[in-house]
């Protein structure tokens, strides 16, 4: 049964140099037709398996950039969502946003449509770095938009930050953290840059023209992040996420709990009834499929029991609480030690995992090499 719903809005007014998500420039796109197609997809999916959507806890509007839409388009999208999905019991309804696109009328449209959490892509408070990564907002946009969002009624606001950016110094990162924490928001996310294929940065990297920080400097940036967040009482509850009590991202926790969720929209991914699936990415193909009364799924994979074990471990270990023995046994009918006893013992002896009576979790040292640790839980390796 789906705990959450993800809805993809693939339109952007500006393409960021690091982004590998399914997206297109807003201009000359069939935006209104796309919104109606998303509504039709939701309607078809709910009609097919209504029981899957009875108890959804969260909805997340991602992209692309949902706030690239006009206020009227946002209103229409949210009307469709609220009409077609049971939203009255939601604990969280999030939307990604760009600081330079959140006008008062868009904020009003979001909050009137039930959105109660904003996730803003800030990335850096250094203007030169922002230009390098293809962002168009200014620091003033961030400060003014947060003030406006609070005035409209949003009190659950998160910002995304990035480190390990081309040419980024420790001083620049420290300044960004200082300015971010001065905002005293309830939630922060901070990610190291990953150079993904099919991005502008990947092309630059392949040509040897991307001046990235060293691994040691990136590790120092992550260490500073954890220390600064702890000093300001923003608890780390996942490798890249920090929050005050009561403000963890419920939607993202669904992913890390390895629970099921539905994905709607062009290029969206979902995990329903033990199957991971993805939709057509090209907008034209997506809309054509919907207009032909067909769900736009282009790829479906039935997750094997071995893959479920693996995912439970490497997704769960992203959380600060780690993976609990009782939850693992209840979910799979087999103990964690039966499957991974040897690997756990070795990682504990290397001071990369901590084991107690409840379960296993990454040590502070282990957070720096999470991906290497996660590979130890691939049963086929």
Q: Sign (positive/negative) of CA torsion 270, 298, 53, 265?
A: positive
Q: Which residues of 270-295 are buried (b: 16+ CB within 10 A; e: fewer)?
A: bbbeeebbbbbbebeebbebbeeeee
Residues facing 243 on adjacent strands? 187, 235
Task: Tell me, rounded to whole angstroms, the distance of Cα 66 from its chain centroid.
Answer: 14
Domains, in order of start, for the chain:
4-256 (3.80.30.20), 322-377 (1.10.10.920)
Q: How far is CA 173 from the centre of its chain?
A: 21
Evaluated on CA atoms 369, 22, 13, 75, the torsion sign reads: negative
Walk along the chain (381 residues) in steps of 10 and give the mean pLDDT of each run: 96 75 79 98 96 96 94 98 96 96 96 98 94 89 96 97 96 98 98 86 81 94 98 98 97 96 98 97 97 97 97 97 97 97 97 98 97 90 51
What is residue 172's predicted lDDT score, i.e. its pLDDT?
A: 97
Query: In terms of residues, how long is the chain?
Result: 381
Asked if residues 292 and 317 have their Cβ atoms less than 8 Å apart, the reply is no
Pick the closest to residue 67 from 134, 12, 22, 138 (CA basis): 12
* Confidence (pLDDT) at 204: 83
According to the model, what pLDDT value does residue 20 have? 62
**pLDDT value for 183:** 97
Q: Cα dist. 329→141, 261, 304, 334, 359 in Å?
A: 48, 22, 17, 5, 11
């Amino acid at each position: 049964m789906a705990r959450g719903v993800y809805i993809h809005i693939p339109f952007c007014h500006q393409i960021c140099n690091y982004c590998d998500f399914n997206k297109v420039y807003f201009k000359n796109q069939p935006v209104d037709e796309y919104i109606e197609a998303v509504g039709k997809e939701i309607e078809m999916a709910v009609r097919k398996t209504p029981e899957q959507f009875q108890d959804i806890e969260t909805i997340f509007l991602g992209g692309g950039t949902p706030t690239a839409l006009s206020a009227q388009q946002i209103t229409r999208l949210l009307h469709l969502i609220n009409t077609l999905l049971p939203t009255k019991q939601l604990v969280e309804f999030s939307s990604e946003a760009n600081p330079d696109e959140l006008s008062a009328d868009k904020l009003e449209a979001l909050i009137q449509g039930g959105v109660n959490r904003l996730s803003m892509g800030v990335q850096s408070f250094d203007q030169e770095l922002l230009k390098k990564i293809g962002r168009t907002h200014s620091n003033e946009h961030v400060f003014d938009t947060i003030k406006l969002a609070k005035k409209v009624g949003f009190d659950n606001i998160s910002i995304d930050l990035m480190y390990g950016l081309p040419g980024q110094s420790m001083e620049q990162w420290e300044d960004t953290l200082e300015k971010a924490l001065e905002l005293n928001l309830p939630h922060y996310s901070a990610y190291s840059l990953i150079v993904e294929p099919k991005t502008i940065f990947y092309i630059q990297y392949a040509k040897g023209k991307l001046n990235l920080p060293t691994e040691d400097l990136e590790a120092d940036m992550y260490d500073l992040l954890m220390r600064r967040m702890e000093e300001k009482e923003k608890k780390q509850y996942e490798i890249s996420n920090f929050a005050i009590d009561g403000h963890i991202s419920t939607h993202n926790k669904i992913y890390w709990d390895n629970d099921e969720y539905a994905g709607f929209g062009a290029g969206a991914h979902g995990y329903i009834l033990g199957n991971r699936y993805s939709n057509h990415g090209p907008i034209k193909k997506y809309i054509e499929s919907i207009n032909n009364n067909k769900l736009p799924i282009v790829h479906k994979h039935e997750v094997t029991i071995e893959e479920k074990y693996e995912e439970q471990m490497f997704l769960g270990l992203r959380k600060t609480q780690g993976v609990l023995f009782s939850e693992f046994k209840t979910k799979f009918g087999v103990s964690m030690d039966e499957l991974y006893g040897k690997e756990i013992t070795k990682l504990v002896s290397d001071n990369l995992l901590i084991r107690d009576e409840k379960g296993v979790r990454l040590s502070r040292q282990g957070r720096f090499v999470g991906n290497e640790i996660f590979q130890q839980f691939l049963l086929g390796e």
